[in-house]
Structure 1
Amino acid sequence: MSAWPKLDYAADKGTVETLHLLLQLIGKLPVRLHPWINHGWHVALRLTPSGAVTRSLPAGARYFAVELDFLEGAIKVDCGNGFQSVLPVAGKTIAKVSRELGSLLADLGLPAPLHGAPNELPDPIPFAEDERPREWDADAARRLHEAFLCADRNFNLFRSLYLGKSSPSHLFWGSFDLAVTRFSGRGAPAHSGGVPNLPDSVTREAYSHEVISAGFWPGGGGFDEAAFYAYAYPTPAGLADQDVEPDAAFWKAELGEFILPYAAVREAADPDFEVQRFLNSTFVAAGGLLEWPQGLVIDPPPSVGRPPHSA
C-alpha cells in the first residue's frame, strides 16, 4: 500500500472547503499582528505533525500561536507558558467558530482581529455572517493532512538543493496550497493583479522579483482534483512547449502552469522520485528560458544535518 493517501476531491470537497475557510480565519491573525515579511511569507502557515500553525505572534510582552489540528478537528491556542486551549470546530459553522475563537482569545488576554472575509475566493461571506452548514469528515481531513506532509517532505528536499534565495515550504491559506519558490535575484515586471478579493498591492509585492514556484493543492480553482503545479513569473515565451517529467505532467493553458495529477504520483512505484522529477524538470525548463544564474543548484543532494560540500 502506498504511503501516500488516496484523495478524492469530488467526494471530499465539503471537508476541503471547511478546512480552507478555517485556515483563512486563523490566517488573519499574522496578517494583522506580525510585521510584513517579503512576499507575504509571514502570513503563510507551517505544517505540523497534526495540522497547520501560524508563526509566533506578539501580544504585548507575550507570544502565542494558533494551530488548526486536522486530526482532532480543533483549533489550538498555545500561549507559550505551557498552557494550551482547545476549541473543537468539527460540525460548526464558520460564524460560530469565529465567535468562539474571538471569545477564547479575549479570555486569554490575547488580541483577536478575526474580522473580515476570506481572500482569493469569489463572492466571499464575512466570517461572522457565514452560518452555512459545514461538512467535517475526519477521514478526509486526515488523508489530506497526510498528503500535505508528503508534499512538504519533497518540497523541503527540493529547497535544500538551491543555494539562492528560496522560500520555505509553507501553506498559503488564501489559495489553499503548499508552495516552495526559488528566486533568481532579479526584479520582475509589475504584476497585473486581478486575484479575486486580494489587493493588487499584495500581488505585486509577492511577484516583485523573478520566481519559479511549485506547489500542491487539494483541488479546485480551475483543476478539480489534487495536483502538483509549477510556473514561472514572468512566464517566458515557449514555456508551454517544453518537455517536462514525468509523462503524466502537462501544461494547463488556462492556469499558465505545468500540472502533475496527485493520483499519478500516488500510483507510481516511487512517488517521491516522481515529484522530484517534476520539480527539477520544470525548474530547468523555466530557468533555461529565463537565463537564470548558473551554479545555484546542488548535485548530489546534501546529507541530512550536514552543510553542502562539507567534509
Structure 2
Amino acid sequence: MIKDKIPTAWPQLNYPDLKDTLLTVQLWTQIVGKIRLVNTPWINHAWHVTLYVSSRGLTTGSIPYEDGSFQIDFDFVDHQLIISASNGGTKQMVLEPKTVASFYHELFALLTDMGIEVDIYGKPNELAEAIPFAEDEIHKSYDAAQMHNYWQALVRIDAVFTRFRAGFTGKCSPVHLFWGAFDLAVTRFSGRTAPPHQGSMPNMPARVMREAYSHEVSSAGFWGGGESYPFPAFYSYCYPTPADYGKQPVKPTEAFYSEEMGEFFLNYDVVQQSPKPEEILLSFLRTTYDAAATTGNWDKQLVCNLTSFEK
C-alpha cells in the first residue's frame, strides 16, 4: 500500500539570502542540462533537457552514450557533483564557491578523463546576460547551507506535484526542473493543438518556444524568485489564456492573479507556514487547473481518483 504521507517540516526560504547561490547553481545546471540535451533524442516539449529532484539533490537521470550510459548528479547533502557511468567509472567534483568558468572547465576535464566527449552550446539560455560559461568569472557564490535548505523545499514540493500529477489521465509531463528559468514544473495537456505561440524569452530560439506550446496546456510550478519579484513562489498558467481565466475563484485566499504576467501566484511562505502545507499547495494546484479547464472547456473526465489503485 502506498502511504499518503508527505514530510511536513518545510524549510524557510529567504530570497535575499538565496539569490546569489541560486543564480550560480542555475548556471551550473545549465551546463549539465546541455550535456543531457546533446546526448538525448528530442522528446516533445524539450522534456529531454530537464533535471529531476533526487534523494540527494538533482539528477540528469540516465544519459545514453555510445555503448552505455552516464548520469550527472548534484549532491546537496555532501555537496559534490558526481558523474557515474554504466561501465563502472565515476568522478567527483566538490561543490563550493567557484566561478562558472571554473566549474565548466573542471567538469569537462572530468568527462574527458572518463572518455566522454561532449560539445555543448556554451552560453546560457533564458537569461538576459548570456556570458559564455567558459568566460564567466562573475558568478561564483555557493552557500552550502542555503542550497541544502532550498533542495529540501524542492523535495517536499516534488512530492506534492507528483501527487497532483497522479490525478490526471491525459497527457502530462513528468515533474521536472527546467534549468532555463530554474523552475520545478508539471504540465497537463487538454489533447488539443494550440495557436502558434508568439511569446519569447531572452536567448531562446522561437522554434523551441513554439514547440513547447504546440498544444493546450495548464502548467504549474515553483520558482525561487528574481529581482522583479523577490519571493520564492508557486505559479500556475494556461496557454492559450481565455479572457475570463484570471477571474476564476482559486484557493487559498492568499493566491492572486497577475494581469501583467497572466498567471496565478502563491508565495512559498504561505505554504511553508501553514499547519498543512501539502494540502494548501494541492488546493492551489487543483483550483488553478479547474480555472483553466473550466474557461478552456477541457474534458472533465481527464481528472480522476486513483485511490483504489493504491491499496
TM-score normalised over the length of structure 2: 0.94
Kindly report the root-mean-square deviation, in angstroms, between the aligned alpha carbons of the 2 structures: 1.5
Residue among 270, 289, 304 paired with 2:295: 289
**For residue 96 of structure 1, what is the aligned residue in structure 2?**
102
Amino acid at match of 1:195: M
- The reply on whether 1:259 has 2:265 as its aligned counterpart is yes
Change in 2 beyond 3 A, CA 1:41/1:214:
same
Query: Retained in 2: the 8 A contact 1:179–1:213?
Result: yes
Over residues 195-237 of structure 1, what are the superposed CA-to-partner deviations in whole Å (9 max), with x where a residue is unaligned? Answer: 1100000000000000000001111174211111100000111
- Between the aligned partners of 1:149 and 1:265, the Cα distance in structure 2 is 14
Amino acid at match of 1:208: S
Number of residue-to-residue matches in the alignment: 305
- The reply on whether 1:247 has 2:253 as its aligned counterpart is yes
Residue among 169, 173, 176 paired with 1:167: 173
- The reply on whether 1:62 has 2:62 as its aligned counterpart is no
Query: Retained in 1: the 8 A contact 2:89–2:114?
Result: no
- Between the aligned partners of 1:174 and 1:50, the Cα distance in structure 2 is 21
How far off is 1:193 after superposition?
Answer: 3.2
Over residues 22-43 of structure 1, what are the superposed CA-to-partner deviations in whole Å (9 max), with x where a residue is unaligned? Answer: 1111011122111000000000
- Between the aligned partners of 2:219 and 2:86, the Cα distance in structure 1 is 33
Change in 2 beyond 3 A, CA 1:199/1:87:
same
**For residue 80 of structure 2, what is the aligned residue in structure 1?**
74
- Between the aligned partners of 1:299 and 1:56, the Cα distance in structure 2 is 31
Query: Retained in 2: the 8 A contact 1:26–1:114?
Result: no
| TM alignment of 1:229-248, pairs within 5 A | 229-248=235-254
| TM alignment of 1:191-210, pairs within 5 A | 191-210=197-216
How far off is 1:115 after superposition?
Answer: 4.3
Question: Which stretch of structure 1 is more off in the superposition, 61-70 or 99-108?
Answer: 61-70
Residue among 113, 118, 137 paired with 1:107: 113
| TM alignment of 1:104-253, pairs within 5 A | 104-220=110-226, 222-253=228-259
Query: Retained in 1: the 8 A contact 2:190–2:217?
Result: yes
- Between the aligned partners of 2:298 and 2:58, the Cα distance in structure 1 is 33
TM-score normalised over the length of structure 1: 0.94
Query: Retained in 1: the 8 A contact 2:8–2:276?
Result: no
Query: Retained in 2: the 8 A contact 1:75–1:86?
Result: yes
- The reply on whether 1:6 has 2:12 as its aligned counterpart is yes
- Between the aligned partners of 2:263 and 2:23, the Cα distance in structure 1 is 23
**For residue 309 of structure 1, what is the aligned residue in structure 2?**
none
- Between the aligned partners of 2:35 and 2:139, the Cα distance in structure 1 is 24
Change in 2 beyond 3 A, CA 1:302/1:85:
farther
- Structure 1: segments with no counterpart, 5+ residues: 307-311
